[in-house]
A = this chain, B = another copy of it.
Amino acid sequence: MSTVAPPATGAGELWSPEEFTARLRAVPAERYHDRHPFNLRMHEGALRPDELRRWILNRFHYQRHIPVKDALILAKFDDSSLRRSWLRRIQDHDGPVEGEGGIERWLRLGEAAGIDRERLRSGAEVLPGVRLAVDGYVNFCRLRSALEAVAASLTELAAPAIMRTRIDAFERHYRWIETDGLVYFQSRIGQGGRDSEEALALVLAWAATRQEQEAAVAALRFKCDVLWALLDAVDGAGERP
C-alpha cells in the first residue's frame, strides 16, 4: 500500500472543510481493500469456489461484529438524536424482525455458495489473522474517542462503488452462486452511501483542531488496514500447511 498525506504532527493550521474532506476521501481512494490482490482476483473471476467460500466464511466474522462495534460507538453519544440515527445501523444488520437484516443476508449468501448457515455461524473456520483484525477494530471502537470511532466508519465512502463492481463480477464470473444470494451487496449500496454521508458530517463538525483532524484521518487509515489485513489472512491461508 502507498502512504497518504504528510506525517500526523498535530502542528499547523486547521484544514478547511474542503481540504479536510479531500484528505479523508483520499484515504480509501488509496488504501481501500478493493485494491487488495485477493479482491482483484475475486472481481476478475479468478477465484476457485473453495477460495470464494473461504472469503465468505471469514468475512462473516467481520459482518457479525458490525452491530457490536456500532453499539460501542452508540454508547459514546450523550444525545438521543445522535443515538437514534446510529441505532439504525444496528437495525440494518440485525433486521427489524427475525429473518431480515444484513447478517441474515450474509447467511443467505453463504447458502447460495453452498455453505450451510450453521457452518458459517460456528466460526470454526475463521482464520487467526481475521480474528485479530476484527478484534482490533472492535477494540478501537471500544477504546477510542467518538470522533475516531466514527471516522473509522468512513470506509463506507468507498463501499457503494465496490458493491456495484462486486455484484457485476459475481453475476458474470460466479454463476454457480444463486443470484438471490447477492441481496446483501445490493442493500449496502444505499445504506453505505447514507451512512457515510452522515458520518462525514459528524467528523467535519467534531474535529475542532488540526490534531483532531489528523486523528480522524489516522483512524480511517487504521480501518483500511483492518480490512486489508483481513484479506491478507484469507489470501495467505491457501499457502499455509
**A residues engaging B (CB < 8 A)?**
64, 67-69, 71-72, 74-75, 77-78, 80-81, 83-84, 87, 90-91, 93-98, 101, 103-104, 142
In the complex, the answer to whether A90 meets B98 with C-beta atoms within 8 Å is: no
Q: Which residue on chain B has the smallest CB distance to residue A85?
A: B94
Which chain B residue lies CB-closest to A123? Answer: B78
Contacting pair B95 A71 (CB below 8 A): no
Within 8 Å CB of A71, what residues of B?
71-72, 74-75, 83
Interface of A is mostly: helix
Total copies of this chain within the assembly: 2
**Which residues of chain B come closer than 8 Å to A64, judged between CB atoms?**
78
Sample 29 A-B pairs with CB under 8 A, ordered by A number. A64-B78, A67-B80, A67-B83, A68-B75, A68-B77, A68-B78, A69-B75, A71-B71, A71-B72, A71-B74, A71-B75, A72-B72, A72-B75, A74-B90, A75-B75, A80-B93, A80-B94, A80-B95, A80-B98, A80-B101, A80-B103, A80-B104, A81-B98, A84-B91, A84-B95, A84-B97, A84-B98, A87-B87, A87-B94
